[in-house]
Structure 1
Amino acid sequence: MQFEFVIVDWAAYGAGLLQQQDWLDWAREAPRLPAPLIDVVPPLTEMAPMMRRRVDRLGRLACQVAYWCKPEGAPAMPMVFASRYGDAGRSLHLLGDLAQEQALSPTGFGLSVHNAISALYSIACGDTQNTVVVTAGRATVLAALTEAAALLADGAEEVLIVYYEAPLPPPYDQFEDQPALEYAWAWRVAAPSKVSRPEGHVVQVRVGPADGAPHPDLGDTRHWPAGLAVLRHMLRQTLSIDGAHSPAWVRSDRAGSQWFWGAAHA
């Protein structure tokens, strides 16, 4: 399976990395992971206060980058929200209430489901477009890109992808199998055929058996969280000079499965 899309705009939020230039500088350096936890929670001033008070820490990360990437006045579009674990803290709190034989909060339950963050964002924006929420273990970012490509192939002019992660709370944290960090990013993507003069970056993804080993790319990011590794690779393509894109990059997210990530000229 192979697909292409144009990244029309992007935004990201992490520890000490708030503006686009911060992230570009980070991608230009030798690979280093951001700090695990952010110091400043996004203010999310774009959202009405009564709605904003229902959005927790992880939700603020996701909604903030979505607002930045799809500013007010932008046309409505399908959305793909993706997170490996989502808001696990809310679910753990509900399980604690059950263990203590306490009544569950209907609001708490409603906000603990995996699509709660996307629902709050959609309601706040008055957006009734199709929204897909995915989780697929280490391959979650790949699943998100595949869903976006399918929506574009189905005729969508643009698709908003929002990817967000946070460390698992104790005692779930003993099951972490990758570095655990708080971060979120959003891409607004379009099919190359729908963009006459792409201002974004044309990225080609081929999914399936891949030959060759991961390219070092100034360091080894094979053990990074996949969502962060993909973001860095995209930013390094953006930084390429005179069309000299970085070599193709292969990543294995589970035994017997690899996917290929590369770049193509507009």
Structure 2
Amino acid sequence: MTAIVNNQFSVRAWSAFAPGLESAEDWRAWAAHPRLPQGDDAPALVEMPAMQRRRLERLGRMALQVAWRCQPDTAAALPLVFASRHGDISRTFEMLTGLARGEPLSPTHFGLSTHNAIAAQYSIARGLTGNYLAVSASPEAAEAAVVEALALIADGAPEVLVVVYDGPVPADYAEYRDEPEAFYAWAWRIGPPRADLPTYSLEPGDGVAAPSGLPHGLDVLRFFLSDETRLRAPQSGRCWRRHA
């Protein structure tokens, strides 16, 4: 068992992608002056064989690109936690629209629309042998992912790869939006606290965050890249803390 004290952890490696934002320098500049990413950019994902890459929509490519950059080739047994509020909802909406028109449902499209499909494609493409999870928790999917990762570390995993990704819902669902939306994906490889790295924790809170102008999952990345010491979640009030 690995000791996790007060839910503290360090981020051993990170990667992120959004339209117009790819390098670490891009992201640090963005965190200093955050804005909602806009554009049609998608990562090349050249690491993945073309036959498998063609099965992915834009959101899946983004999630797998940041995951690939954070996971060493030698870490085949690294546990994975993929987290998204909506998942690949555009694919699901396309299938529902077809069903409403009386069209037959494609088993392939259905299989690729499930919430764990993007994680599964990554696991297959890289020949991974570790545990993987796919979680969703309304706007607090990032919090749910880190809670799962900390549990895996406490159970003996030396590190866990966390991948958080999301995109806008189709226009037909616009009236249900409760936060700004944009395409983005980020990954952290986290482990127990390390003396040479900043230490973070996720703790119970007693208040909720004010609107930030960003999707909450993206605001968590902004907090990580900033010098701020606290960030509250928008519903539960759970608090991210930077300790050093």
Amino acid at match of 1:264: H
| SS in structure 2 of the partner of residue 173 of structure 1 | helix
TM-score in terms of structure 2 length: 0.91
SS at match of 2:45: coil
CA distance in 2, matches of 1:71, 1:40: 25
| Distance in structure 1 (CA, Å) of the matches to 2:28 and 2:239 | 22
8 Å contact from structure 1 (residues 167, 173) kept in 2? no
Q: 1:25 deviation in Å?
A: 1.4
SS at match of 1:40: coil
Distance 1:221 1:21 in 2: 26
Structure 1: runs of 5+ lacking an equivalent = 215-219, 238-245
Q: Structure 2 residue aligned with 1:225, among 211, 215, 234?
A: 215
Secondary structure of the 1:132 match is strand
Mapping 1:191-206, distance limit 5 Å: 191-192=192-193, 195=194, 197-198=195-196, 200-206=197-203
1:87 correspondence with 2:85: no
CA RMSD in angstroms comes to: 1.9
Matches within 5 A, 1:38-117: 39-117=40-118
Residues of 1 paired with 2:117 and 2:42: CA distance? Answer: 19
> Which residue does the alignment assign to 1:160?
161
Q: TM-score, normalised on structure 1?
A: 0.84
Q: How far does the alpha carbon of each residue in 1:10-63 deviate from its partner, in whole angstroms, 9 at most, with x for none?
A: 00001211001111111233xx323333x3211110001111111111000000
Q: Does 1:210 align with 2:210?
A: no
1:24 correspondence with 2:28: yes
Deviations 1:96-125 (A, max 9, x none): 121122211110100010110000000001
% identity of equivalent residues: 42
Q: 1:95 and 1:49 mapped to 2: Cα distance?
A: 28
Q: Give the Å deviation of 1:172.
A: 1.7
Query: Secondary structure of 2:241's partner?
Result: strand
Alignment of 1:165-184 (within 5 A): 165-184=166-185
Query: Match for 2:234: what amino acid?
Result: D
Match of 1:242 in 2: none
The alpha carbon displacement at 1:223 in A equals 4.7
Partners of 2:97 and 2:152 in 1: CA distance: 39
Give the gaps of 5 or more residues in structure 2. Answer: none
The answer to whether the Cα contact below 8 Å between 1:11 and 1:20 also exists between their aligned partners in 2 is: yes
Letter in 2 for 1:235: L
Aligned residue number for residue 152 of structure 2: 151
